[in-house]
Structure 1
Amino acid sequence: MDREWLEPWEKISDDQAMFFKGQLVKEITSTHPLFGLQLMPIGRSEANDDILVSLSTGKLAVVHLTWGNSGDHLWPSTELYDSWEEFVDKKMLEDNFGY
């Protein structure tokens, strides 16, 4: 699916996706809401440490990486979106405003 990305969000390459996936594995513990789901990073924000992740449930998640080795049920912080359209309306457009 070809998607339109607005700054500061951008699509990431397959190599970048694998890099971010490795970091997610380090940070997501058994108490985190994303634990046990198949996660595929698909985008990132150039403004902060947020990445956009496609979930095996069909939803999307914005995950704020901590760059630590292990999180908990709150970290890395996560915002869930039911669809690309919801992500665009509630996150990407807001982040793009005034960027």
Structure 2
Amino acid sequence: MDEQPAFSEPWWDLRQGGSVEREQREGLRAELLTEVTDDHPLHGQPIVVVARSEASDHIVVHLPPTRWARVHLTWKRGAETPPWPLTEFYDTVEDLERGLTESD
């Protein structure tokens, strides 16, 4: 089974099956895809939104099969100029969890 990250405050785990979480995932993914341009490292990647910070404009995305990223959305509602949206990549769940803890 794939290892999955554990989220604690201020992170909201959006992997739950409720309609609110689904709407959050869909809305955040739509904004991310709007902000990412052809020359951004996330462009063309299979992106699954899994969490959002309740303290900032950061989200966590899963890049199957094993990579993760923390992304700082700008909420410009339009294409950004790289490096925006700022993105930090993680190769393991442990690295992701460490990165999230250090940024809190």
Is the aligned partner of 1:78 residue 2:87?
yes
Is the aligned partner of 1:93 residue 2:95?
no
Q: Which amino acid is 2:35 matched to?
A: E
Q: Does the 8 Å CA contact 1:8/1:95 hold for their aligned counterparts?
A: no
1:5-36 CA-to-partner distances (Å, cap 9, x unmatched) read: 11111202222111101001110000101101
Residue among 1, 4, 7 paired with 2:6: 4
Task: Give the length in aligned residue pairs.
Answer: 95
Looking at structure 2, the residues matched to 38 and 11 of structure 1 have their Cα atoms a distance apart, in angstroms, of: 19
Gaps of 5+ in 2: 15-20
Residue among 16, 24, 27 paired with 1:16: 24
Looking at structure 2, the residues matched to 85 and 10 of structure 1 have their Cα atoms a distance apart, in angstroms, of: 18
> Structure 1's 60 and 2: CA in aligned 2 closer, same or farther, altered over 3 A?
closer
Gaps of 5+ in 1: none
TM-score (norm. length: structure 2):
0.82
How much has 1:73 moved relative to structure 2? Answer: 2.3
Looking at structure 2, the residues matched to 4 and 35 of structure 1 have their Cα atoms a distance apart, in angstroms, of: 26
Secondary structure of 1:52 counterpart: strand
- Percentage identity across paired residues of the two chains: 35
1:24-73 CA-to-partner distances (Å, cap 9, x unmatched) read: 11100001011010111100111100000011352000000001111122
Taking only aligned residues, the RMSD between alpha carbons, in angstroms, comes to 1.6
